[in-house]
Amino acid sequence: MEVLLDTCERRRVRHLLLMYLFVVKAAADCPKPQGKGNIVLTNEALLKNNFPDASSVTFECVNGYVQENGTGIITCVSGTWTEPDIICIKKDCGPPKPQPNMSFNISDGTLFGAVIKVVCAKGYQVIGSSYKQCYSVGWTGRAKCQIVTCRAPDGVTNGKNNWDSSDEPKYGEIIHYDCDEGYTLVGNDEITCSETGEYDSQPPECKGVTTEGRITTEMATPTTPIYTQEASTSTGPSTTRTAHRDKTITTSPTTAVPPSTKGTEKSIKTSRSACI
């Protein structure tokens, strides 16, 4: 009887001891750590399932963030993990690489996740994506600024323009028009390719001068009367008006006649009046 009790007691003690050891061991292990905020476990740490006392794992920054300081290592101490000391901040893509005739609106910043707008210079247009976004690998979205072109200029009847290229006119290029001989250009003799891809004005017209227009012009031309001027028979210049057979009156400036010649001048005038 005593032997049976002793055997049962030993089994009970052994069972309790095993339970104690299991509890102590379980209390010493740490649970699998979890990432938080902008930090996550490394791939190596994710593959582990057991984390006994004094074991260590490492945290790293999530995608789009970079490690500013700290090691990221935590340690299991009596079933509890130490606090991670790693600090992660957003990746800064910085200003995009400059391109010809291109600028950027970076009011949203240049940190991870930011979106900026592509802006082309006047007379240029965006080819590709109008926006770029900052990712962990840098800026995404391809774009370039290409000069604006206008359609080939229209011809003009009874005239011509100076555009002889097979290419389309580019922004700022000027097309000049001339009319054939005998035709008049109506409108602007030059048109310019604008930043909208359209010309700044319509092509001119070449119009001929009509018969009616020529007649009207001739009728409207004033004529100047022709007067016949005869030499004065006086010994000096005279202001006397003289009548002629063709009813034409002439006037010539003169100075006063001296008294000694007044009789002679009067005789000549009387004789001329008699002839009339």
Q: What is the three-state SS of 23-48?
A: HHHHHHCCCCCCCECCEEECHHHHCC
Average pLDDT of the chain, as a whole number: 78
Phi-psi category of residue 171: left, alpha or beta, with phi > 0 → left and psi -120 to 50 → alpha: beta
Structural domains of the chain, with CATH? 2-90 (2.10.70.10), 102-147 (2.10.70.10), 159-219 (2.10.70.10)
Please state, in angstroms and rounded to a whole number, the distance separating the CA atoms of residues 178 and 159. 6
- Tell me how far CA of residue 122 lies from CA of 117, 151, 153, 184, in angstroms: 16, 18, 21, 35
Please state, in angstroms and rounded to a whole number, the distance separating the CA atoms of residues 238 and 216. 43
How many CB atoms are located within 10 Å of the residue 77 CB?
13
Give me the pLDDT at residue 271, please.
40
Task: Say which residue, 142 or 258, is predicted with more confidence.
Answer: 142
Helix (H) or strand (E) holding 19: helix 2-28
**Closest by alpha carbon to 96, among 84, 104, 108?**
104
Query: What torsion, rounded to 10 degrees, do the Cα atoms 204, 209, 210, 212 define?
Result: 120
**103-107, 195-199, 209-213, 264-268: segment of lowest average pLDDT:** 264-268
- What one-letter code names the amino acid at 71? T
Task: Say which residue, 214 or 116, is predicted with more confidence.
Answer: 116
DSSP 142-201: -EEEEE-B-PPPP--TTEEES---SSPPBTT-EEEEEEPTTEEEES-SEEEB-TTSSBSS
Judge whether 21 and 69 are in contact, CB under 8 Å: no
Average pLDDT of 61-80?
95
- The count of C-alpha atoms lying within 13 angstroms of the C-alpha of 178, restricted to the half-sphere facing its C-beta, is 4
Give me the pLDDT at residue 28, please.
75
Helix (H) or strand (E) holding 272: helix 262-275
pTM over 0.75: no
- What one-letter code names the amino acid at 102? M
pLDDT tens digits, 14-54? 665 555 544 444 557 999 999 989 999 999 999 999 999 99
Q: Is 206 helix (H, G, I), strand (E, B) or coil?
A: strand
Average pLDDT of 187-203?
96
